[in-house]
């Protein structure tokens, strides 16, 4: 059972697909909150978190290039 991180309702399966990564076969499942308003809020929160992670990764790469020049 997969619960919504915001409201706690049971999430519904939107899409299930299989992909091959290297030598492994991985089954991916996309789920969504049954409340569309709640899902929109969760999507915005996840997008913000993704931006923060990408920004931190780009800073780490830039910092690595600066440190190599020393």
Output the pLDDT for position 28. 95
Residue 4 lies in a domain: no
Residue 47 lies in a domain: yes
Q: How many domains does the chain have?
A: 1
> Could you report the per-residue pLDDT of 16-48, keeping only the tens digit for each?
999 999 999 999 999 999 999 999 999 999 999
Q: Which domain holds residue 46?
A: 12-68
CB-based contact 45:23 (threshold 8 Å) = no
Contacts of 30 (CB under 8 A, 6+ apart): 13, 14, 15, 16
Residue 54 lies in a domain: yes
Res 58 pLDDT > 70: yes
Residue 3 lies in a domain: no
Residue 1 lies in a domain: no
Res 66 pLDDT > 90: no
* Residue 25 φ/ψ, nearest 5 degrees: -100, 120
Residue 46 lies in a domain: yes
Residue 55 lies in a domain: yes
């Amino acid at each position: 059972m997969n619960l919504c991180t915001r409201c706690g309702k049971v999430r519904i399966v939107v899409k299930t697909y299989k992909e091959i990564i290297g030598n492994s076969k991985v089954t991916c499942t996309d789920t969504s909150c049954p409340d569309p308003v709640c899902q929109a809020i969760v999507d915005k929160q996840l997008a913000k978190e993704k931006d923060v992670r990408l920004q931190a990764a780009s800073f780490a790469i830039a910092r690595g290039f600066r440190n190599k020049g020393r």
